[in-house]
Structure 1
Amino acid sequence: MAPPRPSDVRIEPVPDEPAATVALEDGRALLVADYHAGYEAGLRDERGVDVPSQAPDRRERLLALLERTDADRLVVLGDFMHSIGEPGGAERGELEVLLESLPDSCQIAVIKGNHDGDIESWLPTGGRADAVTAYPPVTVTDGSGVSIDGIGFCHGHTWPSPAVLDSDIVCLGHEHPCVRLEDDIGGSRLERAWLRGRMDSTPFRSRPEYDDVGWLTDGSPPRLIVVPAFNDLVGGTWINRPDQSFLSPFLPAGLADGDAYLLDGTRLGRYQSV
């Protein structure tokens, strides 16, 4: 039997923030998911809802987190932008200003989400320097993800690559996990949450692309971390409602013993019983 896998201590949530630090062999990364740049413009165009842009606030929060955590790279678990098709002016402009604001030394990895379209066709994947702007280099990966130093990163809207599934820890976004909390007098509020547990082999065993993933038949399953959305306007999956369906094709069946945690670190216990 394969040896037990290491715990997920290499990934530490940032207190009170929808972000985590990741200890890699050659540095520290800040991990975020579902930035959804240009979301307010999308609300106006798609639903006729006029919401002032919060792009400056999103940018400043992200820059502050990079400085606070002393991270030298940024990993975005998909849906960096909001428009599913060609990005609009507000959306592309938001990301361009963000990239211009990042330190030149910051390495950026974007795992494509279902909203990211052909983002690699206009992001500066080789870096760009001219008289006007200087962008750090960006690496764009397909939504099935990439494994770095034993940690798998994917968006979650599609099946993960075999390499991601065979990692020690698997991180994904897409789900925007939230919990609905009720008080004693019937009031309720919605809170973003982390969802953490171990992977269950059930939805993966019958898929031939995973035939060489050893833990599916003999071994210790990896830890699974579902990262809350960085954008606080986008809503999400109410993970503690029994009638709420999940968005990912392998959730909730692919999650065993999942616990929910608030952004402040409060452990709520099994997400189904919160």
Structure 2
Amino acid sequence: MRDDPRRTAAGSASPTRVEPVPGEPAATAAIGSERALLVADYHAGYESGLRYERGVDVPSRAPDRRERLAALLERTDPDRLVVLGDLMHSIGDPGGAERGELEVLFESFASDLAVTVVKGNHDGRIETWLAESDAVEATVDVVPGGGVALGDVGVCHGHTWPSRAALESDVLCLGHEHPCVRLEDAVGGSRVERAWLRGRLDPAPFRDRPEYEGVSWLERADESPPAAIVVPAFNDLVGGTWINVSGQSFLSPFLPSGVADGEAYLLDGTRLGPYEFV
């Protein structure tokens, strides 16, 4: 039986509804009066990066990525698109195939679609390119990787510690980790699937950091910590952290210790239970 990934490991519903889109590495959320679509780790130009960095020639899937995102925008009809970091792949300025992919992507957006890009570790000078590009007609806000609070939803990339505002939200959504699970069958076959990681924030790694002094849920034992949602990578080529395989190093400085009672869910909503024991 499938369970609802919007529910915490303790079984109570989060006060702020962040709803995974069934079958997709994306979620919707109510942000004030707006409906938002959240995606993470788009990594435009990834195939070009593989050729440059590793000498691996992979046909571009840029049209497929764009069409999948366009279908999600049509399906969910959001007021705002929120990219949880790593919209692009190169560390510096986008160039060549990557710049072309981004230009065509932004040209495909409706002019009334607001876009928030949380700056990931791969996003380099993306704010400079967005400001200079004639292809960008949508209203785009680029925010630091530590993130911001959008209504009651905190968003960050995950490669650095979250901002205070993001940490004080009802739910913290992040990317960067590209969570995956390695599944084995009875005869030894295996496959790797992208997964959601969902739990609640654990105070331990945050409590002694001076920038969080006075955050109520860190100081009051009777106050419930925010929910935490690690969003799977939108780009299906980028691999990720096998969260259920022992010895795997997490990428985020506050994972896995920062998430308590973490559970894994497949994209189709199948609840796998505590991620360490899948």
The TM-score normalised by the length of structure 2 is: 0.93
Corresponding residue SS for 1:235: coil
Q: How does 1:45-60 map to 2 (within 5 A)?
A: 45-60=52-67
CA distance in 1, matches of 2:168, 2:214: 9
Task: State the match for 1:220 in structure 2.
Answer: 224
Task: State the match for 1:264 in structure 2.
Answer: 268
Report the CA distance between 1:124 and its aligned residue.
Answer: 3.6
Of the candidates 175, 178, 182, which is equivalent to residue 176 of structure 1? 178
Report the CA distance between 1:9 and its aligned residue.
Answer: 5.3
Task: State the match for 1:112 in structure 2.
Answer: 119
Task: State the match for 2:251 in structure 1.
Answer: 247
Amino acid at match of 2:187: I
CA distance in 2, matches of 1:246, 1:199: 16
Corresponding residue SS for 1:153: strand
What per-residue deviation string (whole Å, max 9, x for no partner) do you get for residues 236-268 of structure 1?
000001110100000011010000000000000
Q: How does 1:181-192 map to 2 (within 5 A)?
A: 181-192=183-194
Amino acid at match of 2:244: N
Contact 1:21-1:31 at 8 Å conserved across structures: yes
Task: State the match for 2:8 in structure 1.
Answer: none
Structure 1: unaligned runs, 5 residues or longer: none
Contact 1:6-1:168 at 8 Å conserved across structures: no
Report the CA distance between 1:86 and its aligned residue.
Answer: 2.2
Q: How does 1:1-274 map to 2 (within 5 A)?
A: 7=14, 10-124=17-131, 133=135, 135-218=137-220, 219-274=223-278
Q: Which moved more, 1:134-143 or 1:111-120?
A: 134-143
Amino acid at match of 2:126: I
Corresponding residue SS for 2:172: strand
Report the CA distance between 1:99 and its aligned residue.
Answer: 0.4
Task: Please list every run of at least 4 consecutive aligned residues from structure 1 whose deviation after the TM superposition is greater than 6 angstroms.
Answer: none
CA distance in 1, matches of 2:23, 2:267: 5
What per-residue deviation string (whole Å, max 9, x for no partner) do you get for residues 107-128 of structure 1?
0000000000111011148xx7
Identical counterparts, % of pairs: 71
The root-mean-square deviation of aligned C-alpha atoms, in Å, is: 1.4
Amino acid at match of 1:173: G
The TM-score normalised by the length of structure 1 is: 0.94
What per-residue deviation string (whole Å, max 9, x for no partner) do you get for residues 47-91 of structure 1?
000000000000010011000011121000000000012222111
Contact 1:197-1:256 at 8 Å conserved across structures: yes
How many matched pairs?
Answer: 265
Contact 1:124-1:137 at 8 Å conserved across structures: no
Corresponding residue SS for 2:98: helix
Amino acid at match of 2:257: A
